[in-house]
Every structure is written in structure tokens, then in C-alpha cells.
Chains A and B, each alone.
Chain A
Amino acid sequence: MFKYFPHTDADLQTMFRKVGIKSLDDLYAEVPEQIRFRGEYQLPEEMSEIEVRQLFDKLGAQNKPLTCFAGAGVYDHYTPSAIPQLLSRSEFLTSYTPYQAEISQGTLHYIFEYQSMMTELTGMDISNASMYDGTTATAEAVMMAVAAGKKQNKVLVSETVDPKTLAVVKTYAHFHGIEIEMVPAKDGVTDLSTLNSQLSADVAGVLVQQPNFYGIVEDYAGFADACHNQKSLFIMNSVAADLAILKTPCEWGADIAVGDGQSLGIPMQWGGPYVGYMCCTEKLIRKMPGRIVGMTQDNRGLRAFVLTLQAREQHIRRQKATSNICSNQSLMALWATVYMSLMGKQGLKEAAELSYAGAHYLCDELLKTGKFSLVYNHPFFNEFVVRYSGDVDALQKRLTDNGIFGGIKLDAEKLMFAVTEKRTKEEIDNLVKLAAL
């Protein structure tokens, strides 16, 4: 038998007798013959472990990992060596959702730590146990705002929100019957005066991004008050790691803070898995989608953790649930938790400061070549948009040929670069040298 099937011939015969069948085929006696699969799957023959390795090595050789100067929501941050090794512990990796609290304290415990750390980063009161990714977490926040409101069915979204997040939000909104209206941007930032004119009694929430899609750190002073005056919730999407330095969603007066936790040391791995986070004010806890872990006691008086407030969830409330989500992104939440434990209070700040410094150095050096100019006159964090006087496609090709992912092309003239703590001065100087040609 194949290595994942332990059944010997003798086992099969004994089991057949117990079940009262003569062959494996008899197990499907009730399946109508017209829909029985009697053919051959058009798949390759079984591969040995050596061959599986070769297959993926060959496929891997067709990829070309590049020195990454791009972001747009996904950043090439440093991963401490201890993280993947700890996550490979099969007690974490191969367990199910922690429904049986007595033998799942490992999972419940780290989720409690994760929730605690995310509330520290965002400044908010409450965090859930994590969501799929930043885009779906944002869509869930939009639905949550509508569910929390009374008969309000419109959500305003700033034009400076990442278009990929917007696309997912629009998908959910369309099917959920939510009206999305864009708040125009002026010179790369959300226009408060226009927002004020758009706010009305039917607006359930306002969604902004900080730093915004262009890397700009916007001034959101006055936004929360404007929203709250109309009983609208203020939703802020942020890159998790940036919050170690930046003014928090709480300080801006947000009711819901969401975003992607990929920046917390999770590899880019071509788009996933990442981890979405969602935090909110205490007032909104019962409107929050997803799992939440809470503290309690066991019958021996020990401090213990357990999935709680499940009355919000789909397996209890069915169609009246706050969301259809029934998992979190547990292992990736653990990734982020171990990252925040190792980097700690100082390390996250230091990585953010290095990213800031590297990005501003790159920007200055690009401007010095005379071929680039800054598109927006606003402070940025670790990502910025420049106009290139030459052919953007030719430049990007030259960089790719030299093993560099040279930013995200926004249009025929504009490029967006990002820098993290992983980028060395040598790499940046090399990029600038190639860009100056």
C-alpha cells in the first residue's frame, strides 16, 4: 500500500467482514451507477518524494525572486529565524480550531496574546482572533458598520484607499446591497471638505487608509468628529507594522481599525497566506465578526482561555450571524505574535525607523539624478510616488534584468517605490545607478 495508507490485505479482509461487504466497491452500493466514476483520472502517476522535490525545484527555477523595492500593501520585511522553526511545531500546525479548550490551550493562549498585541499596536480596545487578509477584513468592517448602524446603507470610501482593497470591498458591497460612494482625493490626500458635504444620515461608515495607497501619511484631524456628528463609524485601514511608530487609529478617533498583518515578518509568498486584523472600540464588540478568545477559569481554578461571544457566529446564529467567517488565519496570527514577541517594543520601532530612513534616502538619491520628481507634496512613510522623465517600461525592464523589482508602475509616467529595513545602502545605490542611466 501507498505510504499514507496503512491498510494491509489482512486488515482489509477483517474490516470487510465486520462491515458485511466483499470489496471496497460495495461501500458505494447506494450510489446510482449513472454517476459512479468508473474512468481514470487524467493525472500523472504517483511520484516518489525525490520526484516531488524535483518537480517543485524545477518549477521554482522558473521563478526569479527579485530584490524588492515595491510595496502596494505587501512588503519585504525581515523574518527572524526562530519564527518558521517554532511554527513548524506540529502541535500548532496540525491542530484544528480550538473548540476543545482542554487540549487547545496552546492555540487559545497565543490568540489571546495576538489580540493583546494588536490592540497595543492600534490603540483600540478589542481585537478579534484575526481574519483572512487585509482586503477581506476591510470588507467585513464595511459590512459591520452597516450592521451597527440603523437603516444606514451607504459607506464612503476615500480615493486614496488601495484599489485592490477597494475592488474586494466593492464585491462584498454589491452582493450585500451596500452603496459605496467615493470621497475624492486632492493632490493625493482625502479631501475633508468634500467628505463633509457627502456625509449624511444614510452614511454608515467612512473608510480611509493610513499611510494611504501612495505612501502618504495623511492628516486625518477632524475626520472622526465629522463622521461621529452624522452617527457614522470611522474605519481606518493601516499596514500593521507601521503603527509601531505612526499615530494610531485610536488617536485619529477610529471606531474600527483594520488591515493586513503581512508586514509583521510574514514572507510575501506570492500573495498569501497573510493575516487580516480587525480591532474596534469596546462598544462594538458584539457587532464584530470572527472568533474572539477570552479569559476564564477551569474547574480546578486555573486561568484558562476559551473561544467566547460565540452567539455572534455562524454556527449558532446561522443567517443572522455577523459574518459567514468560521475560521481565523490562526497560524499566521501566531507568526505575527512570535514576530512581535521577538522584535518587541523596540524592534518594531527600529525596523519602522530604518524603513523610513531608507525610503527617504532612496527618494533623495532618485531626485538627485534629475530624472525623477516627487508627485505629491506630502510627508510619506516608507513608500512614495515619483514621476520619471524617461520610459517607465524600459526602466522597469532594465531593473528586472538586474534582479531588482523596481517599484509599482501606476501609469505611463509614475512609479511607486517602497523600502523596508531589509534594503541595504548598497542595494539602494545600485538601484539609483541603474535608474540614472
Chain B
Amino acid sequence: MNNRLYGNLIFELSQEGRSGYSLPKNQFGSYEVPASMRRKEDAALPECDEMTVVRHYTNLSANNFGVDNGFYPLGSCTMKYNPKINEEVAALPQFAGLHPLQPAETVQGAEEVCRQLCQSLCELTGLYAFTLKPFAGAHGELTGLMVIRKYHESRGDEARRLVIVPDSAHGTNPASAAVCGLDIVEVKSLSDGTVDVEALKELLAQHGSEIAAMMMTNPNTLGLFEKQIPEIEKLVHAAGGLMYYDGANLNPMLGAARPGDMGFDVMHINLHKTFSTPHGGGGPGAGPVGVRKGLEPFFPEVSPYHGNFTVAMRALAYIRSLGRENIKLVGPLATLNANYIKESLKDVYELPIDGLCKHEFVFDGLKDKSTGVTTMDVAKRLLDYGYHAPTIYFPLLFHESLMIEPTENESKETIDGFICVMRKIAGEAKTNPDEVKSAPHLTPIGRVDDVLAAKHPVVTYKQMVNDNN
């Protein structure tokens, strides 16, 4: 990774008259786009030769840190290794060249990829059918909630517009519910971080006939397994609601427990988390939705074709590479790594809820609060030592949340190195707090001014140029 910023914009490298492309000559005679159709001025796109473009993006990439660069313990994101063979198969021209509306007899292999992936996902989750249409986790959530609404509508039970979410839920859950025309009601957590079943009973007594569903991650956003799930599932079903499993935290369940067996009716899976497809700097991911038998007629049209198809190809390559035995080790090894880190650091970082975690856990900042060093500072200091930061200030249950998820791919040496640095930072917080508070020092740029960006938004090159003039 760069230790000095490569900071050009492609527009700043542009010179009139340069070009980075070659196209065939027009062989069709004089067909001219009529002036009536044409835009007045050309789009002011860059004019660069090919090598300039290649160097520009190569140098830009070196301002970035990816899983291939180093440890990426970003909680709730499951930054596992993205196998190279997956990239190779996803680029095969026999798939990449297919138009989505080609005749069925010319796309049998592509259809078979989808069939095999859906079958495998059913087997791994204990559900009956999957749709690959959703493009991302949030899109899957929305799709799953649509299934639930359609199910209730089909029974003439249209008053069911409330979705129960735990107070530890990710912000996407309520946002997806709102887009789907549903309202949210929060259920409290107990001091051990799991759902308060008594509070749930009260909610159901009060709102029973309005409950469309309960949405849960299990393990929850604190990395804790909701062990009351058999009772919760019975209560919600008895009230006429369905159970929605947010697959964000599915990874530790591989080889341990299946959402279908836990009593969930609908779920989405983030293929870019549990099934190793790359995050790509924020997408494309994929969010297939699975359902219990009888709900598959309610899959809605949320995208026109087969979702992010080449992402599905990567996930299938991953499942086939691991096979039925290795895949059972994914959850346990991820869980072991997380618990090992937790046990190795809990004397210097505040662990609000002790006990076994699953694939991730949350510290509430440093144990010693007297130094004034915050979770933000610890996160930024980690960058100096060559680690990506954990997820910070989420979940909202604690002021100084620091959420660590190592994944099963990390070796003991890597994890020991991280533990060592986390302890070192805890020490620095006492001996040299200013060094930590002003971190990072060794990254291409320092801390950025978020307020300036939001107060006076400059979001295009044209605005930037106009601003300077």
C-alpha cells in the first residue's frame, strides 16, 4: 500500500487530442446521427492514452487496503479470503458472453449453476427454495419482507404491518421494513445481550394480530447466540407472525445449526460474506432469499434476470471447493478465532458481556477510560500498524463499541500479531495518548474533515473546478 497519497484525478491527466481506444472503421456508409437527436455539447470526459489510464488506476489501487493486503477484522462484515479460482471461473467467456434473454437451450450451463447453488443453499440452511434475484443483503431483506407481506395478503390478513426487531438490530432492518410499507417495533435486550422473552411476550400480547414478522440475526449483532430461539419462534408463530433470519451472521452457523431448523421461515444470505465472494469496495454482492415450503410462490419481481449471476458462480465454486466436510469447519474455526482474540484482550479492553461468543464480539472501548483515548483513536492507530480497523460505534448498545470479527481463514500467527498490537495500543494510550489520538500517521492521508464535506458538498470534478475559479 502507498505510504504517500497518489492524488491525481483522471480529469487532471487529460489532454485534448489524446485517446486510449481503437475501434473498427465504419463499414456501413453514410449513416449520420441527425442533429435533432444530438446533444449540444460533448460530454467533457477525459482524453488520455491507454498507458496513462492504466498507471492512474494501478496507482489509485495502491491507496487502498484489501483482504489480500492484510488482516481485516471488520465486525459484521465477514471479510474472509476471496479465493482466486472463483475469479477465474466467473470470467469464463462461455458465461460472460451470454445475453440474459437468449433462448433457453443456449444457456443450460448457466441455469445449472443457479440450480446447483440454490440446492446447496437449501441444504446448508434447512430451507426449501431460494431465489437468486436480490442484488445485495439489503435487497434480500426487502425481498424477504415482501414475501412475508404477500403471504399475509394471500390469507386476507392485511392488518399485519408490524415487524419486531431487537434493539441491537442493524439500521438496514428498519429501513427495509419502511421501504416495504411496514412499521417497526423494537424488543428490548436483556443484560446478557439476548432478546428479552418476557418483553417479547408483552409485545405480542399488545400487538399480536398486527405482527407480520420478527427479524433476527442469530447470532445477534453482539455475536451472541440467541439460545431462546425455540421459544421465540413458538411465540411469534403462535401470534400468526413469520420468522425472518437476517443472514448477515450466518458464517458461524455453518456446521453448527441451520436457520430452517431454528424455526425461521424466510432468510437472506450475503454471498459476499459467508460464501467468499469479494466485497469489491462496496459491491457487487448478492442476497439470495430462501423460504420454507409453501412460501416460494410469493417471490416478488425485484430484478429482471438472475441477480448478480457471476457472484452466484463464485459462491458455487466456493461451496464445491470446500465440499461437505470442510464446510462444517467454517463456523467452528471462525468462532474459535473470535473467542481466542476475546480471551486474549479482555483484560485491557472492556468486555461488557462475558462468555462464549460466536464469530464476532464487541468491546466497549479500552478498559482504562482515564486516558481519553476513544474507540475511534484505537481504530485509527491500528491502521498505522497495517491492520484494517474493526467495526466501530456499532452496535449502538454501547458508547465505545469496537466489534471484531476475524473469520476462519486467519492463522494463529496473524491473530497473535493483531493481539500484540491491540495490547501495544492500550499501552500507548497510557504512555503516549497524543500519538494515538492523532493517528493515523503512516497512511496515505490523515484523518479527514467530514464536516467540511457535508457542509459544502463538492461531488463532481466540474463543481471542484467551478469552486476554484
Contact = CB atoms under 8 A, between A and B. Distances in A.
B281 A341 contact: no
A96 B79 contact: yes
Contacts of B93: 65
Nearest to B37: A217
Contacts, number: 655
Residue picked from B39, B61, B69, B326, most chain A C-beta under 10 Å? B61
B172 A315 contact: yes
Interface stretch (A150-158, A286-294, A368-376, A384-392): A286-294
A49 B320 CA distance: 10
Contact of A269 (B303, B310, B336, B409): B310
Contact of B98 (A92, A170, A269): A269
Contacts of A342: 20-21, 48, 50, 53
Interface in A330-365: 330-332, 334, 337-338, 340-354, 356-358, 360-361
Given A2-B322, A30-B356, A136 B448 contact: no
Contacts of A316: 171
B45 A245 contact: no
Residue picked from B74, B96, B304, most chain A C-beta under 10 Å? B304
Interface residues of A, number: 196
B43 A121 contact: yes
B47 interface: yes
B180 interface: yes
Nearest to B94: A60
A73 B255 CA distance: 42
Interface in B331-386: 332-333, 335-337, 339-340, 343-344, 355-356, 358, 379-380, 383
A119 B460 contact: yes
Contacts of B146: 171, 175
A435 interface: no
B352 to A, nearest CB: 17
B98 A270 contact: yes
A295 to B, nearest CB: 4
Interface in B1-28: 1, 5, 7, 9-11, 14, 18-21, 23-24, 26-28
Q: What are the nearest 9 A-B pairs in CB distance?
A: A271-B305, A46-B323, A60-B94, A331-B280, A106-B64, A62-B109, A94-B66, A271-B100, A65-B97
A27 B335 CA distance: 7
A164 B394 CA distance: 38
Given A314-B175, A315-B172, A270 B279 contact: no
Contact of B261 (A37, A98, A311): A37
Contact of A106 (B60, B225, B329, B449): B60
Contact of A19 (B106, B263, B336, B412): B336
B100 A74 contact: yes
B257 A136 contact: no
B317 A56 contact: yes
B459 A319 contact: no
B444 A63 contact: no
Contact of A176 (B21, B180, B230, B445): B180
B320 A52 contact: yes
B329 A2 contact: yes
A58 B108 CA distance: 11
A115 B460 contact: yes
A109 B179 contact: no
A103 B388 contact: yes
B265 interface: no
Interface stretch (B133-141, B195-203, B288-296, B423-431): B133-141
A192 B95 CA distance: 42
Given A90-B66, A294-B453, A334-B281, A105 B39 contact: no
A102 B447 contact: yes
Given A91-B65, A164-B304, A306-B448, A361 B383 contact: no
A353 B68 contact: no
25 contacts: A19-B343, A27-B358, A45-B324, A47-B323, A58-B109, A66-B102, A103-B1, A106-B281, A107-B281, A116-B9, A245-B37, A245-B38, A268-B99, A299-B448, A308-B454, A308-B459, A327-B137, A331-B278, A342-B21, A344-B19, A344-B45, A348-B45, A379-B36, A396-B103, A400-B105
